[in-house]
Structure 1
Amino acid sequence: MNRIKYNILLADDDEDDCDFFKDALDELQLPVNLVIVNDGQQLMNFLLETSIDNLPDLLFLDLNMPKKSGFECLTEIRQIDKLKNLPVIIFSTSLNNEIVDLTYKNGAIHYIQKPGEFPKLKRVIENALITTTKNNFKQPIRDYFILQP
């Protein structure tokens, strides 16, 4: 990985999922700054209040959040000039092909189904950082959109 330090934003309302994500990053000893928001409105407020130079390198976005869903947030992000190029990785418990296709069409760069096992979570987070860096934070072709642990 080329970057000195990644700035990662995790938008997820499940406290346990947030703790596991943070623990996985800690165990991987990856060079990251992690910020966590717990609902869609908090996410959008954070992004809109952050200067363009301080936006996260990657947003891991849960789809099912209170106040504003991940779908709504992704749609808004792609319509706001300063946010439209923000790399978004969908991080969701579901893996429905229609939902995956919709998030792909709406500009997410990857889709991860939250793994139930901690070692798999570590692998998929590491894979996400390696893959997105290698692809210069751009969306791959649809065949490589879903990341597996």
Structure 2
Amino acid sequence: MNQHIYNILLADDDDDDCSFFEEALDELSLATTLVTVNDGVHLMNFLADTSQESLPDVLFLDLNMPRKNGSECLTEIRQIERLKDFPIIIFSTSLDTKIVDVTYEMGATFYIRKPGDFSKLKTVIENALIAASENNFKQPERAHFIIQP
């Protein structure tokens, strides 16, 4: 049986969050690869330099990054024709309703609040990948936008 390998791009400036994310992926039953970038400028350069065929399956995007924040990146990504449907999961410490609503309107695929607990982190990442895959990496109705652990 061929198991799908999820090619993941993580944009996050916090080294600890990146390490926890990678450790969580290593413990999932899903097959994954991970590339990380540490700010929005690096993210946009990475996407510009990556061919359509080599794009990751999904981007986990932190909102609070230096040089160019996640909201700015989301806006720019959605304005690029070849990336307008690129799956983007917001991965943020905030669960402010206004921010969630704005990122939904901007075209994010899902929204995750970063959990402080490692087991919840594993669960929420796995839930996000499964939900995104089952939904063909398309944005769901607003009621299903936030992924919980």
One-letter amino acid of the structure 1 residue matched with residue 46 of structure 2: F
Q: Secondary structure at the match of 1:26?
A: helix
Pairwise CA RMSD of aligned residues?
A: 1.0
Give how far 1:33 is off.
Answer: 1.1
Q: Secondary structure at the match of 1:20?
A: helix
Unaligned ranges ≥5, structure 2: none
Give how far 1:29 is off.
Answer: 4.0
One-letter amino acid of the structure 1 residue matched with residue 72 of structure 2: E
Q: Report the TM-score, using the length of structure 2 for normalisation.
A: 0.97
2:15 aligned partner: 15
Q: Which whole-Å CA distance do the structure 2 matches of 1:49 and 1:130 have between them?
A: 28
Unaligned ranges ≥5, structure 1: none
Give how far 1:30 is off.
Answer: 2.2
Q: Which moved more, 1:66-75 or 1:23-32?
A: 23-32
Q: Report the TM-score, using the length of structure 1 for normalisation.
A: 0.97
Q: Which moved more, 1:24-33 or 1:107-116?
A: 24-33
Q: Secondary structure at the match of 1:82?
A: helix
In percent, how many aligned pairs have the same letter?
Answer: 68
One-letter amino acid of the structure 1 residue matched with residue 101 of structure 2: D
1:133 aligned partner: 133
Give how far 1:6 is off.
Answer: 1.1
What is the aligned residue count? 148
Q: Which whole-Å CA distance do the structure 2 matches of 1:41 and 1:111 have between them?
A: 21
Distance 1:103 1:3, change over 3 A: farther
